[in-house]
């Protein structure tokens, strides 16, 4: 596995997004399956593991902590706060975005306990709480760094302007946002801002939430609890339009001598040494397929054809529904 620089850390060029093991895509795998996948990733050379307080309302951090605590010195651990599960008076758990300093601190301390570690290497603000100045949230995160509970800071789903404000309050090591061939929003402004500030870019959902793997042909088969059911691009009409891109995309993958998922990851790696994709999966075969993308090289001509085929103008539907769009701060295409 090749390495890339993530602030002070040397990490694998492809990390592992751990969310899928506990959250978001229907019924999660068993704890035993999750353990096998985490250890297989470590054995395969993955040295960046990404989790969050939100994923499974703490279950994902608990799994990562239990399985990987014996190997803590071998990898860079990233987690996120500022968006977590809160139990109401009726006993139900709901997602809450809360960037107040006291909430960010509480999230971090809860995460440390679940992860069974003394320090989180990279701690993100999962969402900017727009009711709280970004300087207040990041200021408290900076105090967590001073106290040795966190080593470096990150932000998720923010704009270039918000990144600059946060970075002026405390150095930001990484920005994490959805980025793939079918989600090109970072190219509007924030990717360039990262480069100007020396901030690494961590790309989540790099295979377009499974679309660019080429295996999901019928969205009616999605689990009732799958978050993609709330995403316009996976609405049957939009998805039918998007499926028309796949035959030509798969032909480009064959030309490159790789699988469709590998082509999506290789494209991101090609876009800059400061970009680190973190695909997630529950299946060992997919894990090894994803990691092999680090060895694929693409010609400039193939990249140009790829980008002309799948981009913000050819993809049908927004990436998020109205509620989720209101919660992020990322730039959008007109």
Closest alpha carbon to 80 in 26, 23, 164, 11? 23
Across the chain, mean pLDDT equals 97
Residue from 55, 123, 179, 320 carrying the catalytic annotation: 55
How far apart, in whole angstroms, are the C-alpha atoms of residue 31 and residue 118? 23
Mean pLDDT of 187-205: 98
With a CB cutoff of 8 Å and minimum separation 6, the contacts of 138 are 125, 153, 155, 166, 169, 170, 172
pLDDT tens, position by position, 250-306: 999 999 999 999 999 999 999 999 999 999 999 999 999 999 999 999 999 999 999
Q: Is 320 part of the annotated catalytic residue set?
A: no
pLDDT at residue 54, rounded to an integer: 96
Q: Classify residue 69 as exposed, middle or buried by CB count within 10 Å of its CB (0-12, 13-18, 19+).
A: exposed
User: For domain 3-210+269-296, which CATH number applies: 3.20.190.10, 3.20.20.150, 3.20.20.100, 3.30.420.40?
Assistant: 3.20.20.100
Q: Is the pLDDT of residue 24 over 90?
A: no
- What integer pLDDT is reported at residue 183 of this predicted model? 98
**pLDDT-based confidence at residue 227 (cuts at 50, 70, 90):** very high
Rounded to an integer, the average pLDDT of 151-163 is 98
Cα–Cα dist 78/123, whole Å: 6
List the chain domain ranges: 3-210+269-296
Total-model pTM: 0.96
pLDDT at 259: 98
Are 111 and 83 in contact by the 8 Å Cβ rule? The answer is no
The two structure tokens encoding residue 273: 């040494």
Environment class of residue 308 by beta-carbon count within 10 Å: exposed (0-12), middle (13-18) or buried (19+)? exposed
Helices 101-115, 59-68: axis angle to 10 degrees equals 40
Which pLDDT band, with edges at 50, 70 and 90, does 58 fall under? Answer: very high
Q: Which of 83-92, 170-179, 247-256, 304-313 has the lowest mean pLDDT?
A: 83-92
**35: number of CA atoms within 13 Å, CB side?**
9
Q: Region 163-190: what's the mean pLDDT?
A: 98
Closest C-alpha among 290, 218, 284 to residue 259: 290
pLDDT at 16 over 90: yes
| Predicted pLDDT of residue 92 | 86
- Rounded Cα–Cα distance for residues 186 and 202 (Å): 11
Residue % of the chain over a pLDDT of 70: 100
Q: Alpha-carbon distance 325 to 327, whole Å?
A: 5
Task: Give the N- to C-terminal CA distance of the chain in Å, as an integer.
Answer: 38
Place of tokens 């990390």: 15
Say if residues 141 and 170 touch (Cβ distance below 8 Å).
yes
pLDDT value for 334: 84
Listed in sequence order, the DSSP H helices in 198-232 are: none
Residue 93 has pLDDT above 90, yes or no: no
């Amino acid at each position: 596995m090749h390495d890339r620089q993530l602030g002070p850390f040397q990490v694998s060029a492809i990390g592992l997004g751990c969310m899928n093991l506990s959250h978001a895509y229907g019924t999660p795998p068993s704890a035993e399956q999750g353990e096998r996948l985490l250890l297989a990733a470590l054995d395969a050379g993955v040295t960046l593991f990404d989790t969050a307080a939100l994923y499974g309302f703490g279950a994902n951090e608990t799994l990562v902590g239990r399985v990987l605590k014996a190997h803590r010195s071998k990898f860079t651990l990233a987690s996120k706060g500022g968006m977590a599960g809160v139990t109401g008076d009726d006993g139900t758990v709901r997602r809450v975005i809360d960037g107040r300093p006291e909430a960010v601190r509480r999230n971090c301390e809860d995460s440390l306990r679940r992860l069974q570690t003394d320090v989180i290497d990279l701690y993100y603000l999962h969402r900017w709480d727009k009711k709280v100045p970004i300087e207040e949230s990041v200021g408290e995160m900076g105090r967590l760094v001073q106290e040795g509970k966190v080593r470096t800071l990150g932000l998720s789903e923010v704009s270039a302007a918000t990144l600059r404000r946060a970075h002026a309050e405390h150095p930001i090591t990484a920005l994490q946002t959805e980025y793939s061939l079918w989600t090109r929003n970072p190219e509007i402004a924030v990717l360039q801002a990262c480069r100007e500030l020396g901030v690494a870019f961590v790309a989540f959902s790099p295979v377009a939430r499974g679309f660019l793997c080429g295996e999901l042909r019928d969205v009616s088969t999605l689990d009732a609890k799958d978050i993609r059911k709330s995403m316009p691009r996976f609405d049957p009409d939009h998805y039918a339009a998007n499926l028309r891109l796949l035959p030509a995309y798969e032909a480009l993958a064959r030309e490159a001598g790789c699988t469709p998922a590998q082509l999506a990851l290789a494209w991101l790696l090609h876009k800059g040494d400061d970009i680190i994709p973190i695909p997630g999966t529950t299946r060992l075969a997919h894990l090894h397929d994803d990691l092999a993308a680090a060895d694929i090289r693409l010609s400039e001509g193939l990249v140009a054809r790829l980008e002309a085929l799948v981009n913000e103008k050819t993809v049908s539907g927004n990436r998020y529904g109205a509620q989720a769009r209101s919660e992020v701060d990322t730039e959008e295409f007109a």
